[in-house]
Structure 1
Amino acid sequence: MLTQAPRLDTERLILRHFTVDDFDDLAAFWANPGVVKFIGGQPQSAEVSWSRLLRYIGHWQALGYGYWAVIEKQTGRYVGQFGLQEAKRDLTPALTAPEAGWALTPEVHGKGYAKEALNAMLAWADSEMKAPLCCIIDEENQRSVHLAEQAGFQYAHEVSYHSKSVGMFTRPAP
């Protein structure tokens, strides 16, 4: 079982393991109102981001999969995260497969980075996990809905999460 995220290279991005050195970038990312617009709606504190960072690192050690830090090759800057998790979310109905998730800083929206990173992540998952996947997406986040559908996720049903209805999407095992 992997204890660290393998490095995935795309044409313009590097997906790599998170380290504690990523804390400042991650905290700034999750404090950005544009990032959290469809992910809870409220900017997150540095304390919450620290717990998130430890969860990202720990997922690989505990489960052999997790999240990658997404780095822009040309500039070397942190632009987001893509990955898979078992978050034990309090959902009705509950998730039944590893959950895919992604977020990019608004400054790089529209460049095709999301599709590039998601394709790399899913190629790894198809090769290494060979499992069905799911994701939950706020119905107002049409960019993510479209991205998920392009990648083979299909709308399954609505779920209630934190008193809000969100769409559940599933993708069969390869």
Structure 2
Amino acid sequence: MTQVSESARPERLATARLVLRRIAPTDVDAMIALHADPDATRHRPEGMSPPEHSRQLFVSWLDHWVEFGYGYWAIELVGTGELAGFGGLQLAYGEDGAYLNVFYRLFPHFWGHGYAPEMVGAAVEWGRRTHPELPILIITPTTNARARRVAEKLGFRWIREAHFQGALSCFFQLPG
């Protein structure tokens, strides 16, 4: 298991337009709303989630923070503090071993502003600095052209196509 030192814990990161902050229990209602949105979950293999399933998933995100000292952030706009969605890196395990999984999901009215690549860029920079031994992957259903473009824009390379969480998915890995 990969742990980070206390000084490397990314409680809060900032980009030009975003604040990425550690999720808090008070964010659960926003996460439930996000996972109940049919547009936001269009490419999610399991689709929309009932509130209890979303609540359990959110608790797993909180637990990841406790166990590893990092995880998915709440993504807020710098100017307004408005919550745009959630995203970041979590430790995951695949057939090739441990890796950092890139995840993001934004409320649809925040799509098309470049927030996803901005957040992913900050997450990747943090991940490379603190966990250089771990590959960084984006795994997205083949139907999600926007996510594939984000991966390619940030220099991720397509490595394979395979089933993941019930959907045929593209696996992208960051070189180096």
Which TM-score band applies after superposition, normalised by the shorter structure? 0.7 to 0.9
Counterpart-to-counterpart distance in 2, 1:2 and 1:59:
15
Counterpart-to-counterpart distance in 1, 2:122 and 2:37:
25
CA RMSD of aligned residues (A): 2.0
Quote the residue 2:101 is aligned against. Answer: 99
Work out whether residues 18 and 53 of structure 1, in 8 Å CA contact, stay in contact via their aligned partners in 2. Answer: no
Q: After TM superposition, list the pairs within 5 Å mapping 1:1-174 onto structure 2.
A: 1=4, 5-40=10-45, 42-87=47-92, 96-130=98-132, 131-173=134-176
Work out whether residues 2 and 60 of structure 1, in 8 Å CA contact, stay in contact via their aligned partners in 2. Answer: no
More strand by share: 2
Q: How high is the TM-score relative to the length of structure 2?
A: 0.86
Q: How high is the TM-score relative to the length of structure 1?
A: 0.87
Work out whether residues 88 and 119 of structure 2, in 8 Å CA contact, stay in contact via their aligned partners in 1. Answer: no
Partner secondary structure for residue 158 of structure 1: strand
Counterpart-to-counterpart distance in 2, 1:28 and 1:59:
21
Superposed structure 1 runs of 4+ greater than 4 Å apart: 93-96
Counterpart-to-counterpart distance in 2, 1:53 and 1:163:
20
Amino acid at match of 2:16: E
Q: Which runs of 5+ in 2 are unaligned?
A: none
Work out whether residues 11 and 70 of structure 2, in 8 Å CA contact, stay in contact via their aligned partners in 1. Answer: no
Counterpart-to-counterpart distance in 1, 2:107 and 2:166:
26
Deviations 1:6-27 (A, max 9, x none): 2011121110001111111111
Identical aligned residues as a percent: 29
Partner secondary structure for residue 144 of structure 1: helix
Q: Which runs of 5+ in 1 are unaligned?
A: none
The number of residues matched between the two structures is: 170
1:83 is displaced (CA, Å) by 1.4
